[in-house]
Chain A
Amino acid sequence: KQEVTQIPAALSVPEGENLVLNCSFTDSAIYNLQWFRQDPGKGLTSLLLIQSSQREQTSGRLNASLDKSSGRSTLYIAASQPGDSATYLCAVNPKNTGFQKLVFGTGTRLLVSP
């Protein structure tokens, strides 16, 4: 059974710092891995999607890496801003289902202070 873990559960940094969020999963048989952002009282916004054949994806100040063999992904945020404050969720799409049945981690709550 696929399980996804995110560390740390919460992170507080001053503005301008570079930071790394970690995600690990137990079964490497996945189609892809997605990083989402969730703001309080809001839905989920997809940030980056990494296919199983890819090693990393970049979007602006965000860079996500995937090491499928070791069951790990990292989300790197450069030059953090207060607007980056949110909960970041990692989700894998397991290969055994045929259709998207995302398995989510419990999230990392990020607070960037001015």
Chain B
Amino acid sequence: DTAVSQTPKYLVTQMGNDKSIKCEQNLGHDTMYWYKQDSKKFLKIMFSYNNKELIINETVPNRFSPKSPDKAHLNLHINSLELGDSAVYFCASSQEDQPGNTIYFGEGSWLTVV
């Protein structure tokens, strides 16, 4: 019974395409995140949503658009994919009624743009 689940796990697509990655958490958390791990294995936050509202938006190209239909879901849509978008994208969630709670990560979505 996976706590944070992402689909698809692997995605290979051509430059210029539009793709989406879906994320769902069944932990009842109020905050969800997208992190990106680049080819050098460096993990960095992209977005964070609290109760469906965007609260963190790092300097990410506007080709990336997160959408949170409800507290349990945070999807990532990417337009006009570029080679440099190839990375592993991790979804995560936490309960932020007080700061510093444990954050739980999904298993990642491997995106390869060719």
Contacts and interface: CB of A to CB of B under 8 A. Distances in A.
Interface residues of A, number: 27
A32 to B, nearest CB: 5
Contacts of A99: 31, 48, 50, 55-56, 96, 99
Interface residues of B, number: 28
B48 A100 contact: yes
Contacts of B90: 43-44
Contacts, number: 64
A36 B55 CA distance: 24
A36 B33 CA distance: 16
A101 interface: yes
Given A43-B105, A44-B90, A100-B31, A107 B100 contact: no
A102 B45 contact: yes
